[in-house]
Each structure stands twice: as structure tokens, then as C-alpha cells.
Amino acid sequence: MDDFEGKKILVIQTHGVETPTRTYSPLFYAMAAAAMEMDVMVWFTMNGTNQLKKGEAEKIKLDPTSDVTLKTMLEQAIESGVKLRVCQQSLALWNMTQDDLIDGVEILGATSIINLALESDHVMYF
């Protein structure tokens, strides 16, 4: 088996609360990569930004019979070492500020994504 420790994975999330079935997989894969000791970042942009608004992720359940919400997944991702970053311009698109964001999310300018992609070993896009 290959040694994946230290590899950089960038996950770009463009889907938000209006498409709940598209919100879980990026976080699941990010946590799997973190468990493999990779350096993982999820970049939220476009509609993906709205799932980071306080109070929104609690409303989303992939499986209505489960207690696991999107908030649960976001918290687990942070706890597993996944970095959550959001595009500053996307925040403006959603009329959001730093105060609207859940804890653990950092804001980066739009041009940051270019450098992040170039510095990553792999980029996944959802």
C-alpha cells in the first residue's frame, strides 16, 4: 500500500442545503483522507457556502431515520483535522459575514483557490 501521509487533498464543495444529498460525500471523503493522515481542506464556494451559516446544517438529514445531520458531519470533519475554508466572495453572494459562520471556518479570498489547487497533490470537485 502506498504511503499517503502528508499528501495534500483539496475538496471543492459547490453544493449547499438546497441539494442535501450532495453535501455529505465531500465531507465523508475528506474525513477518509484525514484518517489516512493526509492534509485535507474543503473549500466552500457558490451554493456550498450556505451550509456554513449558523443554524442551516442542523436542518439537513440525508437519512430521515438517522440522528446524523449535516452539522454532525461538519463537526466530525473539523474534529478529524479537516480544514474548512470559505470563499470571501461567495459569502458576499449570500449576504453573509464572519459572524454568520459556524465555528471552525476560515475565510479566504477567491484567488486563494488557484494557489491551493496548484499546491495540492489532488483536487476533488463536488
Instruction: Please state the domain extents for the chain.
Output: 8-125
Alpha carbon dihedral 108, 22, 56, 51, in 10-degree steps, equals 0
Q: How far apart are the C-alpha atoms of 97 and 23, rounded to whole Å?
A: 21
98-117, pLDDT tens digit by residue? 999 999 999 999 899 999 99
The CATH code of the domain at 8-125 is 3.40.1260.10
Percentage of residues in the chain having pLDDT higher than 90: 90
Q: Which residues contact 55 (CB under 8 A, 6 or more apart)?
A: none
Residue 66: pLDDT over 80: yes
